[in-house]
């Protein structure tokens, strides 16, 4: 079944070329809809709202073989693909955990390919108290260099995601500035940064300037407003200005909605997508 799904692995390659006037593509992070219905009910809502991609956080780990067959068939019927997924428990910033991270990544590849997914979301893991300066950054660079070899061989790509420490006080990588430095040191087109605007605003702010300085290293963008993780327009982030700047920077990757809708799911998701498209004009 997965062989007939259209894998979106080429989405990263469309970014920043300036030749695709269609603009960015849009996706929905499915976990944010969990309280509004079942996975399959929410797939239907995402399609009704006009989206053609979704992102996962390991929901498939609980699927039976019958679930796999049914859900992949339904996604095909809805013309929805998985553009990115997380699912690796090991962090890449553990100085003694590089082998475990690489081994888990290797084992995860067949599942990602079965999903028809082209991009894996990777997390740093915990900050090590008392570690010497630079040790975890060096470990990150080394582990991610090894990861790019595995990803390249499989025809996949990776994005590293910083998480703000209000949400995860023990996380190592908590901001995009260091994430951009790390991926530049890795030096592979197969490893980019997931710029989660919600996390960055909560922790550090200055969203647009960091986009301008690092757009070539952005592999994926996540959207939610602050506070509350609801749709754009409910909080303090000026998403209209952000979308306009992304258009000016010729961003052609995926923008994924990762928020809790405050109203009807279909209408809120549709409005968020339409506002993003209209704001660049």
> Residue 10 — very low, low, confident or very high, per pLDDT cuts 50/70/90?
very low
pLDDT for 22 equals: 66
pLDDT in tens, 212-238: 999 999 999 999 999 999 999 999 999
Q: Tokens representing 94? A: 């553990």
> Residue 7 — very low, low, confident or very high, per pLDDT cuts 50/70/90?
very low
**Residue 253 and residue 219 in contact, taking contact as beta carbons nearer than 8 Å:** yes
Q: Please state the rounded mean pLDDT for residues 157-185.
A: 98
| CA 195/CA 206 separation, integer angstroms | 12
- The phi, psi pair for 268, rounded to 5°, reads -70, -45
**Residue of 279, 280, 223, 199 whose CA lies nearest to 27:** 223
Q: Please state the rounded mean pLDDT for residues 143-165.
A: 98
Which residue do the tokens 């709202």 mark? 49
pLDDT for 178 equals: 98
**Helix (H), strand (E), coil (C) string for the chain:** CHHHCCCCHHHHHHCCCCCCCCCCEEEEEHHHHHHHCCHHHHHHHHHHCCCCEEEECCHHHHCCHHHHHHHHHHHHHHCCEEEEECCCCCCCCCCCCHHHHHHHHHHHHHHHHHHCCCEEEECCCECCCCCCCCHHHHHHHHHHHHHHHHHHHHCCEEEECCCCCCCCCCECCCCHHHHHHHHHHHCCCCEEEEEEHHHHHHHCCCHHHHHHHHHHHEEEEEECECCCCECCCCCCCCHHHHHHHHHHCCCCCEEEECCCCCCCHHHHHHHHHHHHHHHCC
In this predicted structure, the answer to whether residue 152 has a pLDDT above a threshold of 70 is: yes
> Residue 279 — very low, low, confident or very high, per pLDDT cuts 50/70/90?
confident
Higher pLDDT, 103 or 18: 103
pLDDT for 4 equals: 32
What's the chain's average pLDDT? 93
In this predicted structure, the answer to whether residue 17 has a pLDDT above a threshold of 90 is: no
pLDDT for 281 equals: 66
> Residue 30 — very low, low, confident or very high, per pLDDT cuts 50/70/90?
very high
pLDDT for 23 equals: 79
| CA 205/CA 197 separation, integer angstroms | 9
pLDDT in tens, 262-274: 999 999 999 999 9
Partners of 171 in the beta sheet? 126
Q: Please state the rounded mean pLDDT for residues 158-181.
A: 98
């Amino acid at each position: 079944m997965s062989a007939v799904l259209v894998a979106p692995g080429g989405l990263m390659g469309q970014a920043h070329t300036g030749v695709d006037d269609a603009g960015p593509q849009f996706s929905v992070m499915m976990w944010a809809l969990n309280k509004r219905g079942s996975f399959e009910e929410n797939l239907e809502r995402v399609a009704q709202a006009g989206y053609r991609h979704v992102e996962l956080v390991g929901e498939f780990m609980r699927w039976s073989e019958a679930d796999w067959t049914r859900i992949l068939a339904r996604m095909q019927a809805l013309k929805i693909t998985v553009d990115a997924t997380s699912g690796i428990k090991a962090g890449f910033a553990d100085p003694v955990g590089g082998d475990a991270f690489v081994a888990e990544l290797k084992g995860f590849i067949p599942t990602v390919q079965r999903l028809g997914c082209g991009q894996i979301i990777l997390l740093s893991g915990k900050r090590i108290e008392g570690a010497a300066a630079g040790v975890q950054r060096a470990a990150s660079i080394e582990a991610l260099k090894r990861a790019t070899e595995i990803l390249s061989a499989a025809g996949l790509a990776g994005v590293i995601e910083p998480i703000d420490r209000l949400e995860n006080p023990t996380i190592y990588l908590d901001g995009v500035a260091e994430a951009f430095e790390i991926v530049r040191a890795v030096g592979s087109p197969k490893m980019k940064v997931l710029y989660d605007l919600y996390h960055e605003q909560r922790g550090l702010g200055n969203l647009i300037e960091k986009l301008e300085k690092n757009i070539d290293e952005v592999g994926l963008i996540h959207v939610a407003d602050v506070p509350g993780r609801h749709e754009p327009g409910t909080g303090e982030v000026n998403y209209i200005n952000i979308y306009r700047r992304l258009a000016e920077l010729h961003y052609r990757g995926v923008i994924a909605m990762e928020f809790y809708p405050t109203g009807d799911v279909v209408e809120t998701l549709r409005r968020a997508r339409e506002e993003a498209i209209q704001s660049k004009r």
